[in-house]
């Protein structure tokens, strides 16, 4: 049994999430220490470094696992093992996916080029003529925004087609480059509009958690949606967020801070 | 204005881009009654890559291929032969 893991990510929260994914447990089962705080670019120069954390299982949790009471919670992460080859070739949860390591301009360009190639093939196959605008997001992620024409078919119901296009574009890009970097596909800013809605949900849950002094569990969300909530609340010292449950019912829990 | 989509070549592109052995990819189109099924076969070592963790990749492939087919007014399904 793995009892300890080092997690890396752009922020401490995301580094912890990565380590939790490795351990296959939820945040309430562990304690952690921050090995390295993320450092920001100074005047746009220098290396941007992510956070590193050491996360270990609490003794009482180990005892529970030995008792067999927590065995069920361990299983979902181990479903992965019959498909070992897949880990390298596809996007995992984007939270765990970010390496936190700074990529050079050339590497970022390579990510953008590979992702653009893929999205262009997809657009062509849909018989859609559109422009693809490339830019970098706040977290260094590559964002490709598809602009022009009737985009309803690319978005699909509840954005499901768009999410699928993103899953495939990321997987193919990662496979081609041999390393992982977050790639976001958007359609005329659709995600931005949805992002604003999700942030609103997160802020309301945080207000309620603080007011009631109890954790608030949100509806099940995709990894991308959860990421938006984690990021929108990470600077709020009054609350902590964690993801709980198994896909596709995994959801964010917003808890009042213990301090 | 009539648009035509090409779901079959998109499927081929997606699958060959995800596997280690693109030469081993074959896609059969089975039409029976009003329904069309694309049957994918790949190298046994690549099956996991096409399916993905908890079916994540094959679900995304299905969603995208169905959407592309719907542009032409068609209903299709996608299966992986294991």
Q: What is the mean pLDDT of residues A135-154?
A: 83
B40 belongs to a structural domain: yes
B22 belongs to a structural domain: yes
ipTM more than 0.85? Answer: yes
Nearest-Cα distance to chain A for B13, in Å, is 8
B19 belongs to a structural domain: yes
User: Domain span at residue B74?
Assistant: 7-80
B13 belongs to a structural domain: yes
Nearest to B57 among A118, A171, A176 (CB): A171
CATH number of the domain that residue B14 is part of: 3.30.300.20
B30 belongs to a structural domain: yes
The residues of A whose Cβ lies within 8 A of any Cβ of B are 79-80, 82-87, 89-90, 92, 118, 121-122, 124-128, 153-154, 156, 160-161, 163-165, 167-168, 171-172, 175-176, 247
Q: What structural domains and CATH numbers belong to chain A?
A: 201-256 (3.30.1370.50)
Split into its structural domains, chain B has a count of 1
Assign 3-class secondary structure to A61-102: HHHHHHHCCCHHHHHHHHCCCCCCCHHHHCCCCHHHHCCCCC
Residue-wise pLDDT for B45-74, tens only, equals 999 999 998 899 999 999 999 999 999 988
Q: What is the rounded CA–CA span in Å between residue B56 and residue B79?
A: 14
B1 belongs to a structural domain: no
Q: What is the rounded CA–CA span in Å between residue A123 and residue A1?
A: 46
Q: Per-residue pLDDT for A182 more than 70?
A: yes
Please give the pLDDT value at position A72. 38
**B1 in contact with A, Cβ within 8 Å:** no
Lowest mean pLDDT among A114-118, A171-175, A217-221, B62-66: A217-221
B2 belongs to a structural domain: no
Indicate the length of chain B as a whole number: 82
Residue-wise pLDDT for A38-51, tens only, equals 775 444 454 567 78
Residues 12-71 of B with CB under 8 A from A: 13-14, 17-18, 20, 45-46, 48-49, 51-54, 56-57, 59-61, 63-64, 67-68, 70-71
How many angstroms from the chain centroid is the CA of residue A28?
19
Residue in the structure block whose two tokens are 């990819």: B25
Residue A231 and residue A223 in contact, taking contact as beta carbons nearer than 8 Å: no
């Amino acid at each position: 049994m793995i009892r300890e893991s080092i997690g890396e990510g752009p922020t401490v929260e995301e580094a912890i999430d990565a380590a939790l994914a490795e351990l296959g447990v939820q945040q309430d089962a562990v304690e952690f220490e921050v090995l390295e705080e993320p450092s920001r670019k100074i005047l746009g120069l220098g290396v941007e470094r992510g956070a590193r954390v050491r996360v270990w299982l609490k003794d009482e949790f180990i005892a529970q696992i030995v008792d067999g009471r927590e065995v069920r919670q361990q299983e979902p992460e181990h479903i992965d093992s019959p498909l070992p080859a897949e880990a390298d070739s596809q996007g995992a949860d984007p939270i765990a996916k970010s390496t936190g390591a700074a990529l050079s301009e050339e590497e970022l360009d390579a990510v953008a080029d590979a992702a653009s190639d893929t999205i262009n093939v997809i657009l062509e196959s849909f018989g859609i003529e559109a422009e693809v605008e490339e830019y970098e997001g706040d977290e260094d992620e590559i964002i490709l925004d598809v602009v022009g024409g009737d985009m309803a078919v690319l978005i699909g119901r509840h954005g499901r087609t768009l999410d699928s296009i993103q899953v495939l574009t990321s997987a193919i890009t990662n496979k081609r480059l041999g390393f992982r970097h977050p790639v976001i596909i958007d359609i005329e800013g659709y995600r931005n509009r949805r992002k604003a809605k999700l942030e609103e949900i997160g802020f309301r849950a945080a207000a309620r958690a603080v007011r009631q002094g109890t954790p608030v569990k949100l509806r099940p969300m995709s990894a991308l949606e959860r990421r938006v909530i984690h990021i929108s609340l990470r600077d709020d010292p009054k609350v902590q967020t964690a993801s709980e449950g198994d896909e596709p019912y995994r959801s964010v829990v917003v808890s009042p801070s213990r301090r | 204005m009539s648009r035509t989509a090409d779901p079959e070549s998109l499927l081929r592109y997606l699958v060959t881009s995800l596997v280690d052995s693109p030469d081993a990819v074959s896609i059969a189109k089975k039409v029976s009654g009003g329904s069309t099924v694309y049957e994918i076969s790949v190298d046994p070592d690549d099956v996991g890559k096409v399916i993905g963790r908890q079916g994540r990749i094959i679900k995304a492939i299905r969603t995208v291929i169905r959407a592309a087919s719907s542009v032409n007014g068609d209903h299709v399904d996608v299966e992986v032969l294991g």
